[in-house]
Amino acid sequence: MSLQGKTAVITGSNSGIGLGVARELARAGADVVINSFTDRDEDHQLAADIAKEFGVTARYIKADLSKGAEARALIEQAGKCDILVNNAGIQHVSPIEDFPVEKWDAIIAIMLTSAFHTTAVALPMMRKAGWGRVVNIASAHGLTASPYKSAYVSAKHGVVGLTKVTALETAKEDITVNAICPGYVKTPLVEAQIPDTAKEYDMTEEEVIEKVILARQPSKEFATVEQIGGTAVFLCSDAAAQITGTTISVDGGWTAL
Ligand code: NAD
């Protein structure tokens, strides 16, 4: 599978799943744009390391995706976007009545509204190129719910809805639009939840992983960022050209329960 000559923009890709997806797309030959809101030396270094390791062009572009104008500018600055991976995300856990409004707004903006903005700018580029792939990183929480994650679950269900609409609007073109729904993947986003949960349940961190986090994942294993990246590469392949408007779960059986 070669993605040589294709440019992939991966939002929120200086860490975790986004970085894993960027690396697998680069391994398959795609030029990549790495993004985050941080603009640190190490973010630029990550892009340089990917370019060196896989022999592709890799650039870092800063954009704070909580702001619609910056989400649009990210794709405009990339100049070309054959593969768009909407991945950036944050989490906040709280009962609805105490859920801070600014956290609700940030989660919806970064995970759902930014995908609308990037897609709106990327689709004309894909149409011009005559080929395109949109891969939205949703979640098992795009298909099912958990208490105290109102904003996250709402945003991810929204991403699945946006995926279906975008697929219908592009169905007659060589453009596919799908969502990957990971179960738990051990990344900084998940690791950050472990200490608080341990305190809340009076458990060790190992017990939290086994009895709380992986309780809903029948395989009892975390998915890996390489597996999510490999799924994205598959969705960009010719074998997946008729797969559009759907979700692929990488969740160790979670949504089969
Ligand atoms: P992570 O914390 O490692 O990465 C999040 C990324 O989003 C980072 O690159 C960060 O810089 C970026 N980001 C956050 N706010 C941003 C902003 N305002 N502007 C630009 N970039 C921003 O987390 P992760 O686990 O790799 O999560 C990546 C995606 O995968 C998220 O959408 C998350 O919901 C989804 N997901 C994760 C899991 C999991 O178990 N880790 C499971 C299902 C879905």
Question: Which tens digit of pLDDT belongs to each residue from 65-122?
Answer: 999 999 999 999 999 999 999 999 999 999 999 999 999 999 999 999 999 999 999 9
d(CA 125, CA 218): 41
Pocket of ligand 1 from Cβ distances under 6 Å:
12-18, 36-37, 64-66, 87-90, 110-111, 137, 139, 182, 184-185, 187-190
Residue 160 located in a structural domain: yes
Per-residue pLDDT of 158-213, as tens digits, reads 999 999 999 999 999 999 999 999 999 999 889 988 998 899 899 999 999 999 99
Owner of token pair 């995300």: 89
- Shared domain for 124 and 247, answered yes or no, is yes
d(CA 22, CA 25): 5
Residue 256 located in a structural domain: no
Owner of token pair 């341990």: 198
Of 140, 152, 231, 187, residue with least CA distance to 14: 187
Is 0.85 topped by the overall pTM? yes
- Shared domain for 38 and 124, answered yes or no, is yes
pLDDT at 196: 87
Residue 19 located in a structural domain: yes
Crossing angle between the packed helical segments 225-235 and 16-27, to the nearest 10 degrees: 50
- Shared domain for 177 and 197, answered yes or no, is no
pLDDT at 246: 98
Query: Which atom number of ligand 1 is nearest to the Cα of residue 156?
Result: 34
> Residue 199 Cα, ligand 1 centroid: separation in angstroms?
24
Q: CB burial class (10 A; 0-12, 13-18, 19+) of residue 160?
A: buried
Query: Which atom number of ligand 1 is nearest to the Cα of residue 182?
Result: 43
Which range (35-39, 133-137, 188-192) has the least confidence? 188-192
- Shared domain for 59 and 181, answered yes or no, is yes
Domain with 57, as residue range(s), is 7-185+223-251
Residue 142 located in a structural domain: yes
Whichever domain contains 139, its CATH number is: 3.40.50.720
- Shared domain for 14 and 62, answered yes or no, is yes
SS3 86: strand
pLDDT at 105: 98
- Shared domain for 102 and 173, answered yes or no, is yes
> Residue 113 Cα, ligand 1 centroid: separation in angstroms?
15
**Averaged pLDDT score across all residues of the chain:** 97
Q: How confident is the model at residue 1 (pLDDT cuts 50, 70, 90)?
A: low
- Shared domain for 27 and 64, answered yes or no, is yes
- Shared domain for 123 and 201, answered yes or no, is no
Residue 257 located in a structural domain: no
Q: CB burial class (10 A; 0-12, 13-18, 19+) of residue 242?
A: exposed
> Residue 14 Cα, ligand 1 centroid: separation in angstroms?
9
152 is catalytic: yes
| pLDDT (average), residues 127-141 | 98
- Shared domain for 236 and 197, answered yes or no, is no
> Are 11 and 87 within 8 A, CB to CB?
yes
- Shared domain for 81 and 191, answered yes or no, is no
Catalytic residue (one of 60, 152, 184, 201): 152
| pLDDT (average), residues 42-50 | 98
- How many distinct structural domains can be found in the chain? 2
Residue 96 located in a structural domain: yes
Per-residue pLDDT of 243-254, as tens digits, reads 999 999 999 999
pLDDT at 193: 85
Per-residue pLDDT of 198-212, as tens digits, reads 998 999 999 999 999
Residue 193 located in a structural domain: yes
| pLDDT (average), residues 31-59 | 98
- Shared domain for 199 and 145, answered yes or no, is no
Residue 1 located in a structural domain: no
- Shared domain for 200 and 77, answered yes or no, is no
Q: Considering the chain, what percentage of its residues have pLDDT values greater than 70?
A: 100
